[in-house]
Amino acid sequence: SNNNVNSLRMASLANNVASELPNIDWDNLGFRLTTTDYMYIMKCSQGENFSKGELQRFGNIELSPCAGVLNYGQGLFEGLKAYKTHNGNILLFRPEENATRLRTGAERMCMPSPTVDQFLEAVKATVLANERWIPPPGKGALYIRPLLIGSGAVLGIAPAPEYTFLMYVSPVGNYFKGGLAPINLIVETEMHRATPGGTGGVKTIGNYAAVLNAQIAAKAKGFSDVLYLDSIHKRYLEEVSSCNIFVVKGNLISTPAIKGTILPGITRKSILDLARSQGFQVEERLITVDELVDADEVFCTGTAVVVSPVGSITYLNKRLFLLLLL
Q: Active-site residues: which are they?
A: 203
Judged by CB under 6 A, does residue 146 bind ligand COI? no
| CA distances from residue 225 to 64, 108, 210 in whole angstroms, order as listed | 34, 27, 14
| Closer to ligand COI by Cβ: residue 198 or 302 | 302
* Residue ranges in 75-104 that form contacts with ligand COI under rule CB under 6 A: 79
Beta bridge partners of 91: 7, 83
Please give the DSSP secondary-structure letter assigned to residue 216: H
* Contact flags string 301-320 toward ligand COI, x per CB under 6 A: -xxx----------------
Which residue from 300, 293, 285 is spatially nearest to 316, judged by alpha carbons? 293
| Closer to ligand COI by Cβ: residue 118 or 242 | 242
Q: Which stretch binds ligand COI (CB under 6 A): 57-65, 186-194, 214-222, 296-304?
A: 296-304
| Closer to ligand COI by Cβ: residue 184 or 207 | 207
Q: How far is the CB of 169 from ligand COI (least distance, A)?
A: 12
Among 126, 242, 270, 308, which residue interacts with ligand COI (rule: CB under 6 A)? 242
Helix (H, G, I), strand (E, B) or coil at 290: helix
Burial 109-139 (b: 16+ CB within 10 A, else e): bebbbbebebbbebbbbbbbbbbbbbbeeeb
| Closer to ligand COI by Cβ: residue 274 or 304 | 304
Among 26, 72, 208, 280, which residue interacts with ligand COI (rule: CB under 6 A)? 208
Judged by CB under 6 A, does residue 30 bind ligand COI? no
Judged by CB under 6 A, does residue 264 bind ligand COI? no
| Closer to ligand COI by Cβ: residue 161 or 264 | 264
DSSP per-residue letters across 160-187: -SEEEEEEEEEEE--SSTTTTSPEEEEE
Q: What is the C-alpha separation between 181 and 177, in angstroms, rounded?
A: 8
Beta bridge partners of 283: 254
For binding to ligand COI (CB under 6 A), which residues are involved? Answer: 79, 208, 242, 302-304
